[in-house]
């Protein structure tokens, strides 16, 4: 049994709380949020207590693990303190928006050999996990090209975008991790086009809402990531892996299996599941499960701090490509 404390009782924190509560080997014991009523609601629902300070949780011997779902700017601080308090850590992505801070954090906590898992939930999606297995087993031979389509159904709020670190660090970062998850070797080069096409507010903030990123590995495998932030037909999360002896494609998900055939069209299906909470429901459950299993079996977490760091480095390289108009070499060290 792993006893969890939750930092952050917003939308994604509430979902994690539900998953912890439903997990046979997990229990939610404490909740902290700067907005105290939010913490109270979640704690109340699951019979946990509300913590008034971070310390209260870190000093609590009853807490085995912390799930960090608070705002990005608090992650480094919470990871560092939780590592020192010897708590296992499951932290939402990204670790931070700044690589130097990430490196400094790791320099500080590495000697403690902390158990830190970063929340790249998509790795636990049953279809993507199966796809990776197929690629690792070489089911259709070596990988040649990877196409990752990743489109949000709607633009986030201005407030969100103001602190999210830009499209490539906030949204594409998932796709950088997915590319690394599926590739047999690390990307070595990045090229990126990005634009603000959806709403003037995006340009005002110096952000982007539409992007295409190319990656290349040493042996020449190519990746194209494409992002867009107003896919009105629903959350669009597809992968296409072209291999020596064929291709494997992962498709989207819908609320029902219905098709309409009318005078206007045939095979018209539902729009896709709206967004990540619905689309990755199963993935979040399995993410928690994998965390608990690795923790209990004293294995390395399935997504490491270094994975979080490398995804950020790829985002930085993409921004550098955008700025310089060059193909940028990736340096992970």
DSSP state of 218: T
DSSP output for 34-97: SSHHHHHHHHHHHTPEEPSSHHHHHT-TT--EEEE-S-GGGHHHHHHHHHHTT-EEEEESPS-S
Pick from 19, 121, 172, 226 the residue near its own copies by CB under 8 A. Answer: 226
The CA radius of gyration of the chain, in Å to the nearest whole number, is 20
Residue pair 314/330 in contact (Cβ under 8 Å)? The answer is yes
Determine the 3-state secondary structure of 209 from DSSP. Answer: coil
Q: Does 136 bind its own copies (CB under 8 A)?
A: no
Total number of residues that touch its own copies (CB under 8 A): 71
Compute the distance between CA of residue 147 and CA of residue 249 in angstroms, rounded to an integer. 9
Q: Which is nearer to its own copies, 53 or 257 (CB)?
A: 257
Residue pair 7/82 in contact (Cβ under 8 Å)? The answer is no
Interface positions, 236-275, toward its own copies (CB under 8 A) = 242, 244-272
- CA quadruple 305, 306, 311, 313: dihedral sign: positive
Pick from 100, 137, 325, 331 the residue near its own copies by CB under 8 A. Answer: 325
Q: Does 147 bind its own copies (CB under 8 A)?
A: yes
Q: Give the number of other CB atoms < 10 A from CB of residue 211.
A: 22
Q: Which residues contact 156 (CB under 8 A, 6 or more apart)?
A: 164, 229
Determine the 3-state secondary structure of 194 from DSSP. Answer: strand
Q: How far is the CB of 306 from its own copies (least distance, A)?
A: 26
Stretch that binds its own copies, among 30-38, 88-96, 116-124, 192-200 (CB under 8 A): 192-200
- CA quadruple 209, 274, 215, 313: dihedral sign: positive
Pick from 113, 232, 297, 300 the residue near its own copies by CB under 8 A. Answer: 232
Q: How far is the CB of 201 from its own copies (least distance, A)?
A: 15
Q: Which is nearer to its own copies, 81 or 216 (CB)?
A: 216
Stretch that binds its own copies, among 49-57, 98-106, 174-182, 210-218 (CB under 8 A): 210-218
Q: Does 202 bind its own copies (CB under 8 A)?
A: no
Stretch that binds its own copies, among 65-73, 101-109, 175-183, 322-330 (CB under 8 A): 322-330
- Respond yes or no on whether the N-terminal peptide bond of residue 76 is cis (omega within 30° of 0): no
Compute the distance between CA of residue 184 and CA of residue 170 in angstroms, rounded to an integer. 24
Q: Interface mask (CB under 8 A) for its own copies, residues 4-23, using x and -?
A: ------------------x-
Q: Does 159 bind its own copies (CB under 8 A)?
A: no
Q: How far is the CB of 248 from its own copies (least distance, A)?
A: 6
Q: Does 214 bind its own copies (CB under 8 A)?
A: yes
Pick from 97, 131, 183, 292 the residue near its own copies by CB under 8 A. Answer: 131
Stretch that binds its own copies, among 52-60, 68-76, 95-103, 318-326 (CB under 8 A): 318-326
Q: Interface mask (CB under 8 A) for its own copies, residues 100-129, using x and -?
A: --------------------------xx--
């Amino acid at each position: 049994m792993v006893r969890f404390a939750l930092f952050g009782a917003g939308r994604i924190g509430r979902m994690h709380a539900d998953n912890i509560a439903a997990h046979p080997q997990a229990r939610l014991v404490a909740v902290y949020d700067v907005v105290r009523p939010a913490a109270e609601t979640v704690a109340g629902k699951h019979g946990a207590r509300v913590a008034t300070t971070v310390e209260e949780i870190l000093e609590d011997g009853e807490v085995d693990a912390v799930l960090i779902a608070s705002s990005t700017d608090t992650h480094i601080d919470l990871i560092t303190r939780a590592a020192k308090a010897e708590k296992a850590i499951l932290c939402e992505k990204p670790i931070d928006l700044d690589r130097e801070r990430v490196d400094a954090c790791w320099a500080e906590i590495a000697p403690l050999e902390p158990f830190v898992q970063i929340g790249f939930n998509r790795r636990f999606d049953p279809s993507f996990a199966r796809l990776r297995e197929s690629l690792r087993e070489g089911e259709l031979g070596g990988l040649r090209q990877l196409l990752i389509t990743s489109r949000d159904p709607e633009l986030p709020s201005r407030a969100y975008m103001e602190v999210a670190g830009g499209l490539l660090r906030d949204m594409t970062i998932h796709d950088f991790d997915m590319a690394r998850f599926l590739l047999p070797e690390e990307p070595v080069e990045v090229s990126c086009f990005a634009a603000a096409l959806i709403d003037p507010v995006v340009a005002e903030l110096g952000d982007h809402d539409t992007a295409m990123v190319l990656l290349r590995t040493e042996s020449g495998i190519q990746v194209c990531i494409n992002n867009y932030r107003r896919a009105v037909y629903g959350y669009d999360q597809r992968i296409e892996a072209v291999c020596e002896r064929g291709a494997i494609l992962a498709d989207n998900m819908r609320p029902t299996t219905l098709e309409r055939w009318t005078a206007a069209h045939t095979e018209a299906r539902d729009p896709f599941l709206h967004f990540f909470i619905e689309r990755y429901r199963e993935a979040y459950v399995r993410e928690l499960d994998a965390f608990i299993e690795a923790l209990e079996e004293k294995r390395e977490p399935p997504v490491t701090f270094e994975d979080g760091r490398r995804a950020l480095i790829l985002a930085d390289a993409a921004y550098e490509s955008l700025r310089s108009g060059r193909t940028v070499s990736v340096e992970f060290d």
